[in-house]
Amino acid sequence: MIYVWLIVGFVLLVKGADYFVDGSSAAAKYLRVPSVIIGLTIVAFGTSAPEAAVSITAAVEGNNGIAVGNVIGSNIFNLLVVLGVSSLLLPVAANKKILYGDFVFSIVVSVVLLGMIAFDLELGRIDGLVLFGFFLYFLYATIKTALKNRTKEEKREELLPPGKCIFYIALGLTAIIMGGNLVVDSASQIAAVFGMSQTLIGLTIVAVGTSLPELVTSAVAACKGESGLAMGNVIGSNIFNILAILSLSSLLHPITVEIINVYDMIFLLGVSILGWVVTWTKMEIGRLEGLAMILIYSGYLAYIIMR
């Protein structure tokens, strides 16, 4: 029965992402803001809902390995696999706003998090307050940019009706969250049967499972030519995961961090810088770069399973 729920979860993810992208794309046109802004906010926060539920619950229950491992593992998966798969389907373009603004900001917050956990192997309430302060700044800067870069109004007949737009977003997001939960729960049960440790499950099964909404949403967006939404979704999700999820988790209950998580954070920082450099060279991630990113993740996955 576990395998049946796993399949049902995947179906909900795929169909939910299809509706979610259509609704979000229409919302960007109604609000007259670039799709990348919607990707950085509505789509990113929506697709990060499974990570939030898993990490916050795990922190409160004292399952530190899953709480931290889920966020770090999800961010690595987002950068290497979500962007990699999306660019294999169609090269993912980046604009200067996201390359020199949000992408750089995601690297900065990764450095901040690395410093926090490397200092005393703990994320305390003070750390949580600092991270949450960064999150409020990110929201302020993103909204300010959105208002500054409003585009000309689209022809109404070319858009989804407002009610249908909201319905698509709500229906898609609900299906994505339900599908993500089904996949994570089923996969975690299967993994536990095979004797995987809590930290390993957090870095692999749970991290990959909770990142499936980002993967499916960005892939569907790329196929529909919404590369700004695809890129914004990944960068926005990574920022949200660190600043919102870990801040709330540590504010509710201080999180003890294992030294192995520090090594994983160093790897995350490394691939973040690599991803920025790759994007900067051509202002896009092409198919060759996407394939290389997937291969790097495959090597990382093999390493954490064997260590």
Rounded distance between C-alpha atoms, residue 205 and residue 62, angstroms: 19
Rounded distance between C-alpha atoms, residue 39 and residue 59, angstroms: 27
Would you call 185 exposed, middle or buried from its count of C-beta atoms within 10 A (0-12, 13-18, 19+)? middle
pLDDT value of residue 293: 94
pLDDT value of residue 107: 96
Q: Which residues make Cβ contacts (< 8 Å) with residue 224, sequence separation at least 6? A: 21, 22, 25
Half-sphere exposure of 64 (CA within 13 A, CB side): 15
- Beta strands 255-256; 122-123: pairing state: antiparallel
Give the chain's largest Cα–Cα span.
57
CA distances from 238 to 64, 70, 103, 223 (A): 19, 12, 10, 22
Q: Which amino acid is at 186?
A: S
CB 211, CB 51: distance < 8 Å? yes
Average pLDDT for runs of 10 along the chain of length 307: 77 74 74 68 72 72 73 91 90 84 94 93 92 92 75 55 82 78 70 67 70 80 76 88 90 86 93 92 89 93 82
Reference 242, options 61, 92, 116; nearest CA is: 116
pLDDT value of residue 114: 95
pLDDT value of residue 157: 46
Q: Which residues make Cβ contacts (< 8 Å) with residue 126, sequence separation at least 6? A: none
pLDDT value of residue 196: 66
Rounded distance between C-alpha atoms, residue 115 and residue 27, angstroms: 38
